[in-house]
Amino acid sequence: MPGKFITLEGGEGAGKSTQAKLLASWLHEQGIETVETREPGGTPGADAVRALLLENDTPLTPMAEAHLFAAARADHVETLIRPALADGKWVICDRFIDSTLAYQGAAGELGVDIVRAINETAIGDTWPDLTVLLRMNGDAGTQRAIARDGAESDRFTSRDFAFHASVAEAFDVFASNEPDRFAIIDGGQTVDQVAEAVRAAVRERLI
């Protein structure tokens, strides 16, 4: 693909959305045409699925939930991400497949293998060129997200500490299994320090 695909991953409150915006504006300054998007969502179809996934009221089985994340992702990849990359644009996505592998796979009830199989059919060969993992220590990120959004803000933020700890551990495992794709950055630093580390990773690996 002529464009590059960058994803930002991490637990709740790790600062992904802030860093996605800062990275997009820096790339823009470098003369690179950039599309900034997020998951779940990013297209009208995927946003409709997002509403169902994040509201707390509709009971969903783990398998149904995993398929819905993958369905939203398939729409997002086919209608927005892949055409943008084919056009030479860089795509920055706040959460992508590794979130599903961590939340629904490793920390959820299905395990990583089943969730990966479902998602591989959804994304085909559209894997990220670079995945930035913003790491937080202990429950610092979850506390930040609760202060920002409230404890019951969505189906996932409201899960317990053990769930979020196992999400964090899963991201660490994915990053150590694929060191060429992942850049690990300490999300507990100041916004400017994190932004500089993200730019350094992009410069080093993609520019």
The residues binding ligand TYD (CB under 6 A) are 12, 16-17, 39-40, 54, 69, 95, 99-100, 103-104, 145, 154, 156-157
Min dist CB 113 to ligand TYD, Å, is 16
Tell me if residue 81 falls in helix, strand or coil. helix
Query: Which residue, 48 or 207, has its beta carbon nearer to ligand TYD?
Result: 48
Min dist CB 179 to ligand TYD, Å, is 22
Query: Which residue, 34 or 100, has its beta carbon nearer to ligand TYD?
Result: 100
Query: Which residue, 17 or 30, has its beta carbon nearer to ligand TYD?
Result: 17
Query: Which residue, 88 or 161, has its beta carbon nearer to ligand TYD?
Result: 161
Tokens describing residue 95: 């959460």
Min dist CB 110 to ligand TYD, Å, is 12
Torsion over CA: 77, 83, 88, 91 (sign): negative
Is residue 5 a contact partner of residue 91, using CB atoms and an 8 Å limit? Answer: yes
Min dist CB 25 to ligand TYD, Å, is 19
Tell me if residue 60 falls in helix, strand or coil. coil
Min dist CB 98 to ligand TYD, Å, is 8
Residue 20: partners with Cβ closer than 8 Å, 6 or more residues away:
8, 36, 38, 92, 93, 94
Alpha helices for the chain (secondary structure H): 16-29, 44-54, 62-76, 82-86, 97-100, 112-123, 140-149, 161-177, 191-206
Query: Which residue, 90 or 103, has its beta carbon nearer to ligand TYD?
Result: 103
